Amino acid sequence: MAAQAAVVSSFSRFRGASASQLQPVSAGLRRSYSQDGSISQFLHHSLVPTMHYQKSLPRLPIPKLEDTIRRYLNAQKPLLNDDQFRKTEQLAVNFRNGIGRELHEQLVAQDKQNKHTSYISGPWFDMYLKARESVVLNFNPFMAFSPDPKAEYNDQLTRATNMTVSALRFLKTLRAGFLEPEVFHLNPSRSDTQAFKKFIRFVPSSLSWFGAYMVNAYPLDMSQYFRLFNSTRLPKRNRDELFTDEKARHLLVLRNGNFYTFDVIDRDGNIMKPLEIQAHLKYILSDNSAAPAFPLACLTTENRDSWASLRQELLDSGNEEALRKVDAAIFCLCFDDSPVKDLIHLSHTMLHGDGTNRWYDKSFNLILARDGTAAIHFEHSWGDGVAVLRFQNEVFKDSTQSPAVTPQSQPAVVDSSAAVQKLTFKLNDTLKEGITKAKQNFDATVKRLTVEILEFKRGGKEFLKRQNLSPDAVVQLAFQMAFLQQYGQTVATYESCSTAAFKHGRTETIRPASVHTKSCSEAFVREPFKRSTAELQEMIAECSKYHSQLTKEAAMGQGFDRHLFGLRYLGESTGVPLPDFYQDQAYAQINHNILSTSTLSSPAVTMGGFAPVVPDGFGIGYRVHDNFIGCSVSSYPARNVHEFLQCVHKSLDEMFNVLEGKHASKD
């Protein structure tokens, strides 16, 4: 389960995903509408080809074994007492000097033979695809779109049409190689310019990364992007498979548990007229068909082996063509018939829903509630938050700044009853029983999930940066303080960090619980009046400095989690008995991530969320805005999420008091 924390992502579980800033649309890229209502097929036409940097991306480094063991022990220190730490330290030293050294040398040698990829890519796919738990709650996160700034464009049909067309423009732009490469610009005035792009496009792909590096720009891996569309995770015994069919031209729409498909790309590869797409979507929204007594989508919520058996039953029962339509669809658009009541309801709706109106195995579901509230719910094995957030940013920008239809648009006069196919499935008693059981299991699981929201309004990024502090570090410190206050201990904590700066990079783990956060938390929680304001300020600064160091190391592929995971995977695949190091209770404990956290930053997204990765954990999605801090936290009954957020608020309050010099202390 611990590895599931690499979900957002979940969110990209999204550090680094903020590299895709929403750029203003240049006048030259405005949509041109012709007399017949046709539109531009592309979002933009990048001077630099989409995959221009891919060939020359640096390879994900394998850290030195000594560094990995040192970082691992540093992360263990706040979680163990002295006797436990001595035992773990000895096991780690023995591993470093013995079997660990052998495995490390084998991993390095294997990596040298596979320069087209990264050492973590294969094992990470296996980790996801071999997991047998349901993808719902255990893996799939969601990210909710911000509302369209023009209120009338949030109408469900209008927004669904515009987002669908923008998603198709993204697909076309990506496949044509016209999508701007994903680049993290540290000095945009030098690298994010027309002059630089005109220069770099003529630098051979084998050298282009180095040209970007010279102006402090870091191109990111884009190898995952093709899986955004026409892709589905197929359940198989023991290990699932990823399926992609780029030839398919249809959209899958779910409403009220019913399945509909229609073509959105014509035979020439062009996007269908938006008013025709709107007409077909209106037809689906007007369909009064009852919800099916046995909603097929529930099967995608099941244990993967159970679902694999039932899928085979579906195929054997004559449903191959219908399933192929589902699997090959460009993406899945989900129409919900009820509006979103509040942020908690939004979280439940977009994270899991009722199990009947999502195809959770699709690369992503685009969900539209009755009031036009929209979100992306995505399956995590194929990719991470960087790709999904880039897609979400572009769809939001395009659908709001260059909408394909307006609230006044009249859908085209077309025969939607001929164009839209409603899929039917032949269900025998085994399948009906399987669907009923899946729904019961799903209902029982989601009933146990609680989600709470926090908005801390005293300040955010601007205030903390004025204090020369890392905003992320301060929020992570608040989580440590809160858990200590509520439960009296420091526990394994996970924060995801993208390693997309490297070829086929995935994620690395930042370990926010440190000796620094532990001593600072104890100073605030257990002895609040014993330290001066200046001392507490210094402790916060030390936490910030150390957290920033961990973040930088992780982004550069210099964490310890993926390296240790890769060594263990190699040992298992070559028949090496599990080393004592991995059998240590402390190793199991640090990978039982009670606090699983992820952050993202984008004007296109209001919030994101995911479930805890362990039964006694919290799933913490958070954002540090300019002037406030927002958290969406989930838990099962083993933890009290309401009380935890009260403690988070109190911890932030007390830190802000200290930073503002208002702390009642020994001063």
Please tell me the distance from the alpha carbon of residue 496 to that of residue 537, in angstroms, as a whole number.
27
The confidence score (pLDDT) of residue 528 equals 81
Q: Which two tokens stand for residue 325?
A: 């339509």
3-state secondary structure of 33: coil
Q: Which amino acid is at 254?
A: L
Q: Which amino acid is at 393?
A: N
The confidence score (pLDDT) of residue 361 equals 98
pLDDT class of 667 with cuts at 50, 70, 90 = very low
Query: Percent of the chain beyond pLDDT 90?
Result: 92
Please tell me the distance from the alpha carbon of residue 135 to that of residue 369, in angstroms, as a whole number.
22
The confidence score (pLDDT) of residue 40 equals 87
In DSSP notation, 255-313 reads: ETTEEEEEESB-TTSPBPPHHHHHHHHHHHHH--PPPPSS-GGGGGGS-HHHHHHHHHH
Backbone angles phi, psi at 267, to 5 degrees: -65, -25
Q: Which two tokens stand for residue 250?
A: 């249809």
- Residue of 104, 380, 563, 649 marked catalytic: 380
Please tell me the distance from the alpha carbon of residue 421 to that of residue 513, in angstroms, as a whole number.
53
Of 130, 10, 120, the residue nearest 379 (C-alpha): 10
Contacts of 324 (CB under 8 A, 6+ apart): none
Please tell me the distance from the alpha carbon of residue 159 to that of residue 211, in angstroms, as a whole number.
40
Task: Collect contacts of 314-320 with beta carbons under 8 A, ≥24 apart.
Answer: 314/425, 314/431, 317/426, 317/427, 317/428, 317/431, 318/426, 319/425, 319/426
Annotated active-site residue 380? The verdict is: yes
pLDDT(244) > 90: yes
Please tell me the distance from the alpha carbon of residue 269 to that of residue 278, in angstroms, as a whole number.
19
Please tell me the distance from the alpha carbon of residue 327 to that of residue 341, in angstroms, as a whole number.
32
Mean pLDDT of the chain, nearest integer = 93
pLDDT(13) > 70: no
Please give the distance of CA 182 from its chain centroid, rounded to a whole number.
17
pLDDT(267) > 80: yes
Query: Percent of the chain beyond pLDDT 70?
Result: 93
Q: Which pTM was predicted?
A: 0.93
Instruction: Confirm if 314 and 451 have CB atoms less than 8 A apart.
Output: no
pLDDT(8) > 80: no
Among the ranges given (18-27, 50-59, 658-667), the one the predictor scored with the smallest mean pLDDT = 18-27
pLDDT digits (tens, 9 = 90+) for 428-438: 999 999 999 99
Query: Stretch 390-407: mean pLDDT, rounded?
Result: 97
Query: Stretch 333-340: mean pLDDT, rounded?
Result: 97
Query: Stretch 44-48: mean pLDDT, rounded?
Result: 95
Of 598, 469, 455, the residue nearest 541 (C-alpha): 469
Please give the distance of CA 178 from its chain centroid, rounded to a whole number.
24
Please classify residue 26 by burial: count the beta carbons closer than 10 Å to its beta carbon, then call 0-12 exposed, 13-18 middle and 19+ buried.
exposed
The DSSP secondary-structure symbol of 544 reads H
Among the ranges given (16-25, 41-50, 65-74, 212-221), the one the predictor scored with the smallest mean pLDDT = 16-25
Instruction: Confirm if 332 and 365 have CB atoms less than 8 A apart.
Output: yes
The confidence score (pLDDT) of residue 1 equals 35
Q: Which two tokens stand for residue 481?
A: 């303080």
3-state secondary structure of 188: helix
